[in-house]
Amino acid sequence: MNILIGLLVTFGCILGGYMAMGGHLQVLFQPFELLIIGGAGIGGFIMANTMKVVKDAGKAIMEAFKHTVPKERHYLDTLGVLYALMRDLRTKSRNEIESHIDNPSESAIFQAAPTVLSNQELTSFICDYVRLIIIGNARSHEIEALMDEEINTITHDKMKSYHALMAMGDAFPAIGIVAAVLGVIKAMAAISESPEVLGGLIAAALVGTLLGVFLSYSIVNPLIANIKAVRDKQNRLYIIVKQTLIAYMNGSVPQVALEYGRKTISAYERPSIDAVEQEMMNPGGDKKAA
């Protein structure tokens, strides 16, 4: 919603200001200039990246428009799964724990947290490190270092599309100059025409520069910044898992270990202690309301 509101404000102010100072909108309508700039930018983007990154860029744009970030239910489900696993680590046998992490799709613990189970990468992350805890030979600082390395890898992969789109956005002003130069070449080819015709051709050429700068700084780069914010929030779930499990390995009881994870959530999004306690007593109990 914020993106749509921002686009409306941007177009409204720019076009409204242009018209208020006596400009004519039809002069700005240069579809072929837009084709040159957009086509060159997208073509370069495809050349510079793998198809996996290209597809992920499309997914990232949709996530930005939908603002696909973790909600309170996601945080509660993640904390609920961690609490149930830590509780079982203290009270149940190794075989019983392994039945949950070897086949999470059939585990009652994970089934009570559908937002976790639907996130295969997060589910694998949790299961992998609970399995290492079960083994019992690894020390907490070694597990923490391994978690940091994996989180860095996940973040790097998630941000590939962000960096690729940023490079494309930064290229638009220069591509706009290319479109403007092509427009000038067209105008020079008609140098014998009347001043009215020649003036229209020159104005159309200058629109290329305008479009390049406008696309870069008013549309693409703000959208890319939103993509980064969304992906950063999605990766926050891995930090919660890391801090909770490391606290547990360092001797904290499950209830206290959850606080280590809960405190890594931004204050304005963080579930209350009461909500977390309710989740421990009734896993997934609020998912219908959410």
pLDDT at 121: 94
Rounded-to-integer distance, Cα 221 and Cα 242, Å: 32
Task: Determine, yes or no, domain membership for 53.
Answer: yes
**Sequence-distant (≥ 6) Cβ neighbours of residue 122 within 8 angstroms:** 78, 116, 237, 238, 241
pLDDT at 213: 94
Whether the per-residue pLDDT at 287 is higher than 80: the answer is: no
Task: Determine, yes or no, domain membership for 192.
Answer: yes
pLDDT at 145: 94
In angstroms, the first-to-last Cα distance of the chain is: 19
Which residue from 6, 77, 69, 124 is spatially nearest to 266, judged by alpha carbons?
Answer: 69
CA 137 to chain centre: 36
Over residues 110-165, the pLDDT tens digits come to 999 999 999 999 999 999 999 999 887 778 899 999 999 999 999 999 999 999 99
Task: Determine, yes or no, domain membership for 11.
Answer: no
Amino acid identity, residue 126?
I
Whether the per-residue pLDDT at 58 is higher than 80: the answer is: yes
Structural domain for 77, as ranges: 28-290
Task: Determine, yes or no, domain membership for 21.
Answer: no
Rounded-to-integer distance, Cα 271 and Cα 262, Å: 7
Give DSSP secondary structure letters for the chain. Answer: -HHHHHHHHHHHHHHHHHHHTT--HHHH--HHHHHHHHHHHHHHHHHHS-HHHHHHHHHHHHHHHHT----HHHHHHHHHHHHHHHHHHHHS-HHHHHHHHH-GGG-HHHHT-HHHHT-HHHHHHHHHHHHHHHH--S-HHHHHHHHHHHHHHHHHHHTHHHHHHHHHHHHHHHHHHHHHHHHHHHHHHTTTS-HHHHHHHHHHHHHHHHHHHHIIIIIIHHHHHHHHHHHHHHHHHHHHHHHHHHHHHTT--HHHHHHHHHTTS-TTTPPPHHHHHHHHHSTTTTTTT-
Task: Determine, yes or no, domain membership for 13.
Answer: no
pLDDT at 137: 76
Tokens of 236: 């926050």
Tokens of 216: 């870069």
Q: Which residue has the higher pLDDT, 59 or 2?
A: 59
Task: Determine, yes or no, domain membership for 145.
Answer: yes
Task: Determine, yes or no, domain membership for 18.
Answer: no
If one counts every other C-beta atom within 10 angstroms of the C-beta of residue 110, the result is 24
Task: Determine, yes or no, domain membership for 6.
Answer: no
pLDDT at 289: 39
Whether the per-residue pLDDT at 106 is higher than 70: the answer is: yes
pLDDT at 92: 87
Q: pTM of this prediction?
A: 0.85
Q: What is the mean pLDDT of the chain?
A: 90
Q: Structurally, how many domains does the chain consist of?
A: 1
Which residue from 164, 76, 154 is spatially nearest to 120, judged by alpha carbons?
Answer: 154
Over residues 212-268, the pLDDT tens digits come to 999 999 999 999 999 999 999 999 999 999 999 999 999 999 999 999 999 999 988
Q: Average pLDDT in the 49-58 region?
A: 95
